[in-house]
Each structure stands twice: as structure tokens, then as C-alpha cells.
A and B are shown apart, each in its own frame.
Chain A
Amino acid sequence: MSGRIEKKFLIHAGERGNVIYFLLFFLLVSAGMAIGRSSADALFFKRVGIEYLPLMYIIQSMMLAAVSLVYTAFADLIPAERFFRNLFGVLITLILGSWIVIHSSETTLIYPAYYLIYEVSSEVLLVHAALYMNQNMTTLQAKRLAPLVYAGAQVGTIIGGLTLAFAAPLVGTQNMLLVWCGLLVAASAALYIRHKRHGASTHFRKPRKTQHLLNEGLAQIQQGIKFTYNSSLLRASSLTLFFMVVAFYVLCYSVNRVYTQTFESEESLTRFFGLLTAVTSILALSMQLFVTNRAIKHFGVRTINLLFPWTTLASLAALTVSFALPAALIGSLNKDAFMPAFRNPVHSMFFNVLPHYMQGRIRAISVAVVLPLALLSGGFLLLLMQRLDTPVYFLVPGMLAAMLYLFFSRKMNDAYVSTLIATLKERLFLPDEQMYADLGGCSDEDRQEIMRGVTHTDTEVSIAFSRVLVESFPDKAASIILQRSSGEDNATADRYLKLLGRLDISEHIDDLKQRAQHGDAHLQASILQLLLACGDQGSITQTIQLLDSDNPRLRATGIQAALRYPDSAPGNARILSVWQALLQDDRTTQLAALDLIPELQHLPEQERQTLQPAYQSAFSQLLGDALDDTRVRALRSMQSWHGDSSDEIHHALLHSLASEQSGVREAAARCLHLANDEQRTSLLLQAIGDANPRVRQAGIETMKASTEDHKDLALQWIMDNQGSLRAQQALLKPLLDVGLPNSVFADIARKKSEEAQLLGQALSIMDADAGGLNCLELLRITLKEQLDQNIDLALLALEPLYEPGLIAIIRAGFASGDARHVANACEALENLDKQAITAGLSVMLQKSVSNDFSSDDSFFRSLEDVVNWCVNHRNSWLNLCGDQALQPLNA
């Protein structure tokens, strides 16, 4: 039974305690406020006079400004619950004091004072209640539960209203103040017990306090103003609030004037207020319970945000047409039912998208600046206009304010998604520009940055930046690198010198020759290769003589020189003989021979063919070597091998692709042009779907190099669900920037979203039926993983359809694992344009986040259906898990 209720009200697992507490707390506070409001109104209107109400608004605005200064000083500094306790303490004292004065004194000033106590405290409580909820709930929780919690407040208001309606005629309106006090005491007790048990509010983060409280308060207001100035959402929200308050108070004044004229005695007015409160609250409650949640879910926060502005405009229009009880009742319905049912929950949600450190200050601005200004404006307007005969003179400005309220609400809607995204970006530390993205640029700043890296003492850092230097400043790179590498050991120097291959080193020939004399054979060979490329005649002659060297690498270098400069070389027969010997001797000589693969082009076809078998044999031997380094070197050389392959090479590639070492897999991925035709596609997909990003990149590059229509092939694989999901993602990424039509990506997003929905339906069946079998547990985990991957893939496909970076931020929010960021990411997705594509996706995203896949309709009828679907799925891992799960089911 309780499960059904929780499902009905969208309460998720683990939230029941929280929800019950908030319902009770808000019930107590609201019951008290209902009694406070109606008693304050009745006492003021009958014992002082409604004509003083505009003056009250003006005084109220000034008091609100002062009180909110105190509020802003504390709002962010202490947990919300502690502030509530302090506030309740002050309020109880003031109410009791008022009661004593009413009973012990004849003065009528107490009634305006009591009225102001209620009005000021209710504004602060309303603002603070929202902050309290935000400190204890995420965006998604607030979206689901805020209407329900506010419904608890409505129940309290109903109880308060009915209590007032029946008790006030018996005990007197003035004694209802004691009831209000009692309810505040009860709320304080609930607060105390709750936080004693559960600690401070979950999402409270105390900022550093740096100055005196009053200055802190002023500073917070200043900061709040600055935030407002810089944020489109806050600007729109502040203007919305301003005009809403003006329209609202014109409406309040109007309806209260009608009621005061209609009900002559204080008791009848009090009773009427009590009943009106109860009735409007019942309506508000019904809407909050059965309409608000679903309306927000169905129409979205932004559409519901426009509802109250429209109804306010309509209410004022009705009063303009007929300033009588029926129109006044419509006005009361609007402000007392529609406002709590729709406006308040939605308004709270808009604030949820702002960073936490802003929220208290922004709410303080609302209470300290906007609300008082609006009240002041409304108060003056009414003070002036109420002297004129007909109410139309204040109703029409009220309607104008309502229209402006509607206008700025639309502006708020426009700013909602951009603010969500900006908040996510800030919280996830996503930069505005990629750092070092343009490091290959040629500015002085770039150069300084690169030089800092080149001169770094860490060799790896230095070499990495040296590579960038070669790309960015080729005219200066040679001398800098030579300088940096002097004094390094032979192996390190060799790595530096290899970077000079594409540079003009004609000015450094003597330096290089000297280094060659003092270096080991390996370094000597590398330097000679550089000098050969440069065309230095002395080096050519010297290098060709190395054909007789003992060192295989030097011999290989001699072959290079002989092939490139045949005029100075002995005949091809001699060269081939040395070359064959290299290939047949041992591992060391074979490795040296691998460097000669690019030189094969210098040989005539017939001579080239004679070396093929020897190379194939060398490959097989080297690929079967125990050392990973040898295999990687062999594979790297094979990348430029365009001769025949063999079965041995193919098997060696298979073995290398399954290596635990990512370096081996990466090198093998670049050699897949040598794999058998039948298996090349599956091996490519395997490489492209590897867990290591460098292997994936290697697979993509091989595919691009070996397939002419690689874009079409990639799209086909993605749409056909070939390969793993990681492979599909690796295939999709390069396609995002090649100018394909948006419809292509929309199709991919749609397809993957549909796949995610199917996986979600499979999960809902599994959750209902699976029991505790391990194989089914693994299948469930796998289905969930694939669901998340499909969602991410769909999101990736959406990137070209929206402004740059937008979807990437949403993906980052989803991947962060932080509940608040995930909630904001879901909310942002739900409010994007092109909802036809994103609607299904955002539903699946929310289900994945909440791990709740229950669904009314499903493609699958039973667990067997799900398992059979997995067995027949294109994804090989899902097949395997499905196969495994099938066995106990068939047993």
C-alpha cells in the first residue's frame, strides 16, 4: 500500500523519511501562518481600517529591507535549520508580546504592528523555506518533491484556516495569536529532533566569513546585485518578481476591500477569512497533489512558469469588469491557490540551477531589494489611486504590472537553460577554451610556453614540447633541440635528434658529425641518416662504407645511403646480399632490417620480390618474440609494409591485438591492412573498441587509411550496431566535424535512444523477475552499462545539432557521478529545443540515474524474452552474457 502511494507521488526509494519530515514541518509552520494572516488581516481591517493598507505596504517595504539585511548576513553562513530556529524564537517572542499588549492596552497601534510582524515574517519564511529545501534536495528531487512538500504546507493552511473559522468566534480573534505561538514551538521541536538525528543540511556549504556581520550582510547584498547584473536569469527573475509583487498587492488590496465592505463585523470577517483560507488551500492542495507534479513533468518547468502570470492578469481583468464578491473570490483563488500550487514550486526550481554559493544571496536580494521596492511602488500606487472614486484607477496599473510580469517570465524561461549549462560548466571546471589547444600557434606567448617546456629538466616533458617546437617554429627548432640534447646520454640524445628529420640542419652539419664520432653506434646511425637526408657528400661516402660494418644498424644505414645515392654505391647485388644477411641472422639484425622497409621503393620490382619471403619470415619471428618491445618495433615497421602478408603474420596480429600491453595492441592496430580480408572488419572494430584510447585512435587511423569511403562505412557500422558501443563512439567522434548533415546525427541519436529504451524495458523485466542468480545479475549489470553507453552515444550524436559545447557539458554532468550535476544535466536536456529527439533520451537518462526502470508498456513479455533478445543481439558481449543466462533458465 505504502509502495503504491510512493509511486503515485513520485517518491523514490530512501526518500520517505525526508518527505514525511518536510511535510510535517511545513504543515506546522503553514498552519501557524494561516492563523497569523487571517487574524492579522481581520484585526487590522476592522480595528484600524482598510484605507490604511497601502500605508502598511509602504512601511512593510522598509521593514522588509532592514530585516533582509540581517537575513543576507546569515543566509549562507549558517545551515538553514539553524536560521529557522532563531527566526522562530524571535517570532514567538513578538507574537506573545503582541498578545499581551492587545489584552493590557487600549492602543490601536498594536494592530498595524501585528500586521507587519505577520507580513515581514511570512516573506522571510517563504524565502527561507525554499533555501531549506534546496539545502536538503537535488534539482531532480526538488522537481519531484517540492509540489508534494508544498502540499503539506497547504494541509497546514487548511487546518489553520478551519481552526480559525471555528475557534475565533468562540475565543476571540485576538486569542488565536496563542495558537500560532504553539504551532511555532512545535515546528521548532520538529526541526531540532530532525537535525539532531541527521546532522546539518546535506548540501549546506559554509563560505569563509571575512568581515563584520553588518558589513558581511551589505557585502552579500552587493554580491547579490553583482550576480544579478551578470546573470540573465537573475535579471529576468528580479524584474519578474518586481512586477509580480506590484500586481499581487494590487490584487490583495482589491479583494480585501471587497471583503471588508461585504462583511460588516470582525467575527464574520474572521470566520470568512478562515473558511476562505481553508477552501483555497484545499484547492491548492488538490492541485499540488494531483496536477502540479504531472503538469511540470508533462509541460516542463518553463511552460508552468507562465501559468500564474496569466491567471493573475485574468483575475485583475475580472475585478476591473466587476468589483464585487464573485470577482474577488476569483482573485483569492488565484493568489491563494494557483500561486502556491504552481508559482512557488516552479520559482524554487529556477533557483536550483544557480550555483549554491549564489543562492542564499540571490534570495536575500529578492527579499532585501526587489520585494521592498515593489511593495513601495505598489503601496504608493494604491495610496494615490484609492482616493479616486472607482477601483479601475488602481486595477488598470495592476493589470499593466501583470502584463510586464508575464513578459519577464518569458525572459526567465529563455535564460533557464543557458543558466543551467553555465552552472554545470562552472561546477565541472570545464574551461572556456582548451588549454594549449593552440599551442601550435606562433605568438610570443606560445613560444615562451613552448620554450619553458623544452628546457624542462624532465626528459619526457622536454621531448613532448620539442615536438611542438618543430611544428610551430621549424626555423628555430634545430638549434634549440641540438643545444638541449647536448650533454644527454646517447639514448636520450637519439630521441631528440630523431625530431630533426624534417628540419633544415645544413647549418649544424659539423656539430652533428662531431656528435656522431663520440656517440655509440645507434646514435651514429641516427646522425648519419640525418646527414644523408641533408645530402652532405662527405657523409654519403662515409655511410656507404658502413656496408661492411659489424654493427647491423650501421650496415642498414649503409644500405640506405647506397640506395639513395647509387652513383657512389656498389651495385645492387652487393646491397641485396647485405640486406638478405640482415634479415636472416638474428633478432638484432632483423630489427635493423625493419628500418629499411621504406627504402624498398628504391629497388626494382624483381629485386624487391626477392626480399619478400625473408621479410615475412623475419616478421613472424619478431612478432613471436618474448619481449614486448621487440614486437612493438616489428609492428611499427610493418605499418609501412605493403608487400604480401601471410597466415603467420595474420595470426601474429590476432595474438598482438589480444595482448595485455596497450603499446602492442596499438602497434598491431596500425598493421591491420595485413590481416586477412575476411577478418579485417572485425579486427578493426575490435581495435576501435579497445579500452585504451591510443589503440582506438590507431584503429580509426588505419580505417581511414585503408578505406576510401570510411565515413560511410563508419555510419553504416553505427546504425547497424556493429562492434562494441565504445567502438561506435570512437567511430562517431571524428564524424562530428566533417560537415555531415544534421539529419544524419539526428537519426543516430534517435536510433540509440530507441536502443536505450529497449534496454530500459529489458531491465524493468529483470528487476521484476531475476531472482538472485549470478548469471542474471551479470546480465543486468551489462544491460545497465550498455544503456548508459547508448545514452552517451545518443548525446554525442546530438552535439552538432546544438551550439558548440552545450551537449558536451551535459555529458560531463551525466558522467560526473555527482547527484546535483547529474540532476542539472537531466534538467538541461529536458529543456533543450528539438524535444522530438531529446524527449525519449531525457526520460531514459532520468531512469538510469534513479536506477528505476519500471515501465507500463514493454517490448518484452518475460525474462526469457529478454534473455533471448540478448542472445540474438549484435553486441558480442551481450550475446555471451545472454548465453550464460540462458543455461539456468533452460535447466
Chain B
Amino acid sequence: MPDLFDRLILLKKSPIFSMVMTDDLRVVAQAMEKQEYFAGDCIFEIGDQGDHLYIIVSGKVGISLESKPSDKSYIATLSSGDCFGEMNLLDDLPRSATAEVIEDTTLLSLEKTRLRGLIQSYPDMSVGMLRSLSLRLRDANQKLIKEKSHA
């Protein structure tokens, strides 16, 4: 039970699930699977056909646009509470980035068909997903503006 409550807090803090009532999040929390990775592991590579969404419980994950990323080529470094891999669950296209474990990491993963079923059952989740994507887009725009101004 403590694990469930910790998961609930984690989910509640992530943009995707922040709009869902905690009571409803129980189903989501129970549907998620725990996965452990060690530093250097590759969670998925760019071009892979992905079918999971991930939330970081602990550790660090680097997101890169290279298939074999080095330390400096991460476009984002994610830590506890961050979510990644959700875009692929909506558009069915291959992974747009590589996710590599920087420090030993524990993840909660949710499989695509389950996510879709949950969205139908809990419509508020779709608002959360839109919000998450909107935040991601704003972030990308900001980075683009910064790069343009530096150039």
C-alpha cells in the first residue's frame, strides 16, 4: 500500500496525470509496472517502435537525438517525477529520441493499449496529456528562440 501512495504522489506531480483525481489515479498507479535500469542502459533508441510511457521514480535519464549519445549530446536530462515516451503512444510513429540511463534508475512504465483504455475510462487524462504536450512545445519554442538569438 505505501508503494501505491508513493506512486500516486509521483503521478499527481507529473503534467500528464495532474488533472486526474487521486481516487481515479489508483487504477493508473496499479496499471503501471516497475522497471529497474543501470547507468549506461538504453531504455529505447531513436527509430524504435515504442509502446510504453515512462515516469522516473528515481535516477536520471538523458534524452538524445543520437542513437549512441555521449554526455554532451543530451537535449534534456530527466529526473524523478519526469515523464517521457508519451508522444509515441498517441501518434504510433517510431521513437523520436533515444533515452539512456545516466544514473541507476527506477521507472514506472505504462503500456500503450492500457493507456488508451484508461484515457477512455478517465477522460480527464486526455486534458493532462494535452497539457503535457503543450508544455513540451513551449519548452521547445523557448530553446529555439534562445538558439536563434545566440546564432
Residues of A that sit less than 8 Å from B by CB: 660-662, 665, 691-693, 724, 726, 774-775, 777-778, 781-782, 785, 877, 881, 884
Q: How far is the CA of A781 from the CA of B24 in the complex (A)?
A: 13
Binds A, one of B4-12, B74-82, B88-96: B4-12
Task: Given the known inter-chain contacts A660-B114, A774-B6, A884-B2, please indicate yes or no for A692 contacting B22, CB distance below 8 A.
Answer: no
Q: How far is the CA of A877 from the CA of B25 in the complex (A)?
A: 11
Q: Is the interface of B mostly helix, strand, loop or mixed?
A: helix
Q: In the complex the two chains form, is B121's CB within 8 Å of A691's CB? A: yes
Q: In the complex the two chains form, is B22's CB within 8 Å of A661's CB? A: no
**Which residues from A are CB-within-8-Å of B9?**
774, 777-778, 781
**Which residues from B are CB-within-8-Å of A778?**
5, 8-9, 12, 22
Q: Contacting A724 at CB < 8 Å: which of B23, B114, B120?
A: B23
Smallest beta-carbon distance B111→chain A, Å: 11
Q: In the complex the two chains form, is B121's CB within 8 Å of A692's CB? A: yes
**Which residues from A are CB-within-8-Å of B21?**
691, 726, 785
Task: Given the known inter-chain contacts A781-B12, A785-B21, A785-B22, please indicate yes or no for A692 contacting B122, CB distance below 8 A.
Answer: yes
Smallest beta-carbon distance A265→chain B, Å: 63
Q: In the complex the two chains form, is B22's CB within 8 Å of A877's CB? A: yes
Q: In the complex the two chains form, is B117's CB within 8 Å of A660's CB? A: yes
A-B contact count (CB 8 A): 51
Q: Which residue of chain B is the closest to A661 with respect to CB atoms?
A: B117
Which 4 residue pairs across A and B have the least CB separation, nearest first?
A: A662-B121, A877-B23, A691-B122, A691-B24
Q: How far is the CA of A785 from the CA of B25 in the complex (A)?
A: 13
Task: Given the known inter-chain contacts A691-B124, A778-B22, A884-B1, please indicate yes or no for A660 contacting B27, CB distance below 8 A.
Answer: yes
Q: How far is the CA of A232 from the CA of B1 in the complex (A)?
A: 58
Task: Given the known inter-chain contacts A692-B123, A777-B9, please indicate yes or no for A660 contacting B22, CB distance below 8 A.
Answer: no
**Which residues from B are CB-within-8-Å of A660?**
27, 31, 114, 117-118, 121
Q: Which residue of chain B is the closest to A878 with respect to CB atoms?
A: B23
Q: Which residue of chain B is the closest to A665 with respect to CB atoms?
A: B121
Q: How far is the CA of A775 from the CA of B9 in the complex (A)?
A: 8
Task: Given the known inter-chain contacts A778-B8, A884-B1, please indicate yes or no for A661 contacting B121, CB distance below 8 A.
Answer: yes
Q: In the complex the two chains form, is A775's CB within 8 Å of B5's CB? A: yes
Q: How far is the CA of A661 from the CA of B12 in the complex (A)?
A: 22
Chain B interface size band reads: 20 to 34
Which residues of B34-74 are within 8 A (CB) of A?
Answer: none
Q: How far is the CA of A463 from the CA of B12 in the complex (A)?
A: 39
Q: How far is the CA of A775 from the CA of B2 in the complex (A)?
A: 8
**Which residues from A are CB-within-8-Å of B122?**
691-692
Q: Which residue of chain A is the closest to B23 with respect to CB atoms?
A: A877
Cβ contacts A to B, 24 pairs, < 8 Å: A660-B31, A660-B114, A660-B118, A661-B120, A661-B121, A662-B120, A662-B121, A665-B121, A692-B122, A692-B123, A693-B123, A774-B5, A774-B6, A775-B2, A775-B5, A778-B22, A781-B9, A781-B12, A782-B23, A785-B21, A785-B23, A877-B22, A884-B1, A884-B5
**Which residues from A are CB-within-8-Å of B123?**
691-693
Q: How far is the CA of A785 from the CA of B22 in the complex (A)?
A: 8
Q: Which residue of chain A is the closest to B121 with respect to CB atoms?
A: A662
Q: How far is the CA of A691 from the CA of B22 in the complex (A)?
A: 11
Q: How far is the CA of A552 from the CA of B38 in the complex (A)?
A: 56
**Which residues from A are CB-within-8-Å of B1?**
884
Q: How far is the CA of A360 from the CA of B103 in the complex (A)?
A: 55
**Which residues from B are CB-within-8-Å of A782?**
22-23
Other than A781-B12, A881-B22, give 19 A-B pairs with Cβ distance below 8 A.
A660-B121, A661-B117, A661-B120, A661-B121, A665-B121, A691-B121, A691-B124, A692-B122, A774-B9, A775-B2, A775-B5, A777-B9, A778-B5, A778-B9, A782-B23, A785-B23, A877-B23, A884-B2, A884-B5
* Interface bits B111-133 vs A (CB < 8 Å: 1, else 0): 00010011011111000000000
**Which residues from A are CB-within-8-Å of B114?**
660
Q: Which residue of chain A is the closest to B125 with respect to CB atoms?
A: A691
* Interface bits B11-24 vs A (CB < 8 Å: 1, else 0): 01000000001111
Smallest beta-carbon distance B53→chain A, Å: 15
Smallest beta-carbon distance B22→chain A, Å: 5
**Which residues from B are CB-within-8-Å of A661?**
117, 120-121
Q: Which residue of chain A is the closest to B118 with respect to CB atoms?
A: A660
Which residues of B84-113 are within 8 A (CB) of A?
Answer: none
**Which residues from A are CB-within-8-Å of B121?**
660-662, 665, 691-692
Q: Which residue of chain B is the closest to A774 with respect to CB atoms?
A: B9
Q: How far is the CA of A226 from the CA of B113 in the complex (A)?
A: 55
Q: In the complex the two chains form, is B8's CB within 8 Å of A692's CB? A: no
